Amino acid sequence: MRVLQGEALWPPPVWLMRQAGRYLPEFRAMRERADFLTRCLTPEIAVELTLQPIRRYGMDGAILFSDILILPWAMGQSLEFVDGEGPVMAPIRDEAALERLDPARIPEATAPVLEALRRLRAILDAPDGPGGGNTTLLGFTGAPFTVACYMVEGRGSREFASVRQMAYAQPELFERLIGLLEETTAAYLGAQLDAGAEAVMLFDSWAGLLAPDQFQKHVIEPTRRIVDRVRAGRPQARIIGFPRLAGLSLPEYAARTGVDVVGLDTGCDLNQVCELLPPQMGVQGNLDPLALLAGGQAQADAVTAIRERLRGRRHIFNLGHGVLQQTPPEHVAALVAQVRAA
């Protein structure tokens, strides 16, 4: 939280994207007891899964156990998590399908998520609880473009060609979808902050698939409007933006969206980042998840390089994308110990 509020800390704080996940045996044990949506929508389970990596590693950030697809699900789009395949939804390809989405359902459908945040905040604020009263509680959503990718495609994809084609071929329909997501995302992030999240993160995992002018229109502009709306009633709201694979559009994203900290993906060259982003801009990242999978000296060298290169900057140590399922949990312990060494 201190880095989000403007301080540069040494050593930097650390948490990891997908820190609650299948690489943890205690997560796999819970997985056998309930399907994915049930885990997201049962406060006891979501709280427990959020806390697992805090208990094990004492991470500085606890990210709510949930998913970016909860929002379209809450508006009535069907969603199923299929083993070995990931999310499957009834794709939205025309006006009629878009019309069937009902944002009025969101508050009731997401009530269990907000309840989980309330409970987590009470647990994490306790000085004798997990995290010792020092762990920042992070809420999140997907950013409009990335959520639209899944809503239109109906499943994961490497290219998300259907959604990118819709942006050119049916611009009105696409812009209505992005507009709907912009509005509902801002409201949902606000509700998460009001329920106890101390900061929120916008995951734009597929932002880098867009051509530059489309990136401007469907990533930067909606993000800026979401940030403005969230802050309208909450000037103190702290927001992390993660425009994955943004490449040369990263400086403009950092300058124009108003996010407090920008997430760096694995491919970001830190020398360029330091040159192109203003010195007061906060950054989060960006260890290669494959280095964490490999462990040993290669991991240690990569951690040292990142830590040292960003020394003196507002930096939150993290990966460049999520923890991979095959990652040995000891590698994460070694990472945290090394990041925290004085």
Q: Is the CB of residue 146 less than 8 Å from the CB of residue 68?
A: yes
Q: How do strand 282-287 and strand 315-319 relate by DSSP bridges? A: parallel
Residue 2 known to bind ligand = no
Residue 119 known to bind ligand = no
Residue 311 known to bind ligand = no
- Tell me the per-residue interface mask from 68 to 107 with ligand 1CP, x by CB under 6 A, - otherwise: xx-----------x----xx--------------------
Q: Is the CB of residue 109 less than 8 Å from the CB of residue 73?
A: yes
Does 154 contact ligand 1CP by CB under 6 A? Answer: no
Q: How do strand 79-82 and strand 199-204 relate by DSSP bridges? A: unpaired
Q: What letters, b where the CB count within 10 A reaches 16 and e where it falls short, cover 285-298? A: bbbbbbbbbebeee
Question: Catalytic: 22?
Answer: yes
Q: Which is nearer to ligand 1CP, 145 or 203 (CB)?
A: 203
Size of the site for ligand 1CP (CB under 6 A): 22
Does 19 contact ligand 1CP by CB under 6 A? Answer: yes
Q: How do strand 86-89 and strand 315-319 relate by DSSP bridges? A: unpaired
Question: Catalytic: 18?
Answer: yes
Token pair of 115 as six digits: 């309840």
Q: Phi first, then psi: what are they for 80, rounded to 5°?
A: -140, 140
Crossing angle, helix 161-169 and helix 144-153, to 10 degrees? 100
Closest approach, Cβ 156 to ligand 1CP, in A, equals: 3
Closest approach, Cβ 188 to ligand 1CP, in A, equals: 14
Cis peptide before 328, with omega less than 30 degrees from 0?
no
Of the residues 39, 60, 67, 204, only one is catalytic, namely 67
Question: Catalytic: 340?
Answer: no
Question: Catalytic: 194?
Answer: no
Does 156 contact ligand 1CP by CB under 6 A? Answer: yes
Question: Catalytic: 31?
Answer: yes
Binding-site annotation, residues for substrate = 18-22, 67, 150, 205, 321
Give the interface with ligand 1CP as residue ranges (CB under 6 A). Answer: 17-22, 31, 36, 63, 65-69, 81, 86-87, 140, 156, 203, 205, 322
Q: Catalytic site residues?
A: 18, 22, 31, 67, 150
